[in-house]
Amino acid sequence: MQCIEPNHVAFMLCAAFAFVLAASVAAGAAAPETASMQTIEPIQLPEGFFPILPWDPQHGWRKPYADQKHGIESIAECAFTMAGFVQARDLPICEKLGLKAIMFGENGPISREEWAVLSDDEIDARIKALVEESGDSDAILGYYLVDEPGVELFPALGKGVAAVKKYAPGKLAYINLFPNYATIGAPDKSQLGTESYTEYLERFVNEVRPQFLSYDNYMIQYSMDTQNPGPAARYYTNLIEVRRVALKYGLPFWHIVSSNQIRPNTTIPSPANLAFQAYTSLAAGAQSVTWYTYYSRGYGYAPIDEHGDKSTTWRYLQMINRQMQILGPIMNRLESTGVFFTAPAPVESLPLLPGELVEAVECEAPVMIGEFRADDGARYLMAVNLSMERSVKIGLTLAKPYQGGNAVSAEDARLLPMNPKGGLWLVAGQGVLIRLE
């Protein structure tokens, strides 16, 4: 597997490359102003906007959007709110369709090899050039820096984030992190370059001073829809740990999940596992859901197949994206105050009910509960059916003084009166947002 891998999931370490990276960084001159001297400034999303992003970079990895049978117009039709990673020539169509975009650069992004050796002045110049060539379109949400860096790149990335803030105030410096199943250890011997995933996250925040946290995790497919407890555990624990660190530093977090058959021996996308990934992300407080990938690029059962045509997965994904388009902007205005699971939890270490709002859940399948607070003091919860095999009826016992609530329609955001204790039905993998009374 290549180090800058088109598969976006790195299970194998290119040891020689990692050694060069570590040596190059160690040999670099000390910066006059370190990233840790910068303030942490969370990205402020446009009002009412929830990022739903296809993870499909263009340059060198696939054909430009204009050469696709189903290009940016089909991305909007599939209910994405972003066009992915684009170049300046793509911005007029993004503006026309109301899509936001992350800029990729006319000559592609700075590679991981380059991040390891560029001087401070060279980083500043590269980011300045990217901002200038991109123009000033309102469709621009931010600029792509790198995917899955090891800790040895953090000092340089801190300079990159600072340069984006300097030349494009209010825009996002996009960096996506490894999942918790990347290898740990010394920088020249592992992907993370740290002794634990928590250390990796903490060092990223404190050394890079990012505007958000983004990570990818495809363990739902690897676990064959949670039937294998080992891979499934990595999905839940990764979600909870990124949430914890994001809350600690006041940062939003984005979650990249899978919309294809990630390996030939793994399960394929279904309405249940797509819904599961989206709703568990929302219940944990994620402020974006990104799908890897939209185009096939060698993966099976992708939304756009190997022939460039829409697949059945495309229709499944359109349905889930439409639901997130409705619920996401509501939830991005809420503060995540707790995440809980029914007993026995899918993973032993996960927090169990009762929570602040929900005392107990009556259900024949495991349930995840996310609890939230609005600025006006209103309380919300999201309940997710963690079964990907069956529809279930969920009964909620609410903490006092809450007596009932309204389910928020994922079709049009209408408030639908309901009796929480009387129960409501959820199909496999589905969630429901409830505003409490």
**Second-level CATH architecture of 335-436:** Sandwich (2.60)
The continuous run of DSSP H or E covering 433 comes out as: strand 431-436
Q: Where are the domains of the chain?
A: 15-331, 335-436
58 pLDDT band, cuts 50/70/90, is low
pLDDT tens track for 385-406: 999 999 999 999 999 999 899 9
| Class for the domain spanning 15-331 | alpha beta
Look-up: residue for tokens 């399960």? 267
pLDDT (0 to 100) of residue 33: 43
The structure's pTM equals: 0.91
The candidate with the shortest Cα–Cα distance to 427, out of 376, 383, 397, 362, is 383
DSSP 38-73: SPP----PPTT---EEE----TTTS--GGGSSS-HH
pLDDT tens track for 356-390: 999 999 999 999 999 999 999 999 999 999 999 99
37 pLDDT band, cuts 50/70/90, is low
Q: Work out the burial of residue 90: count CB atoms within 10 Å of its CB; fewer than 13 is exposed, 13-18 middle, 19 or more buried.
A: buried
Cα dihedral 97, 103, 108, 112, rounded to 10, equals: -140
> Stretch 304-328: mean pLDDT, rounded?
97
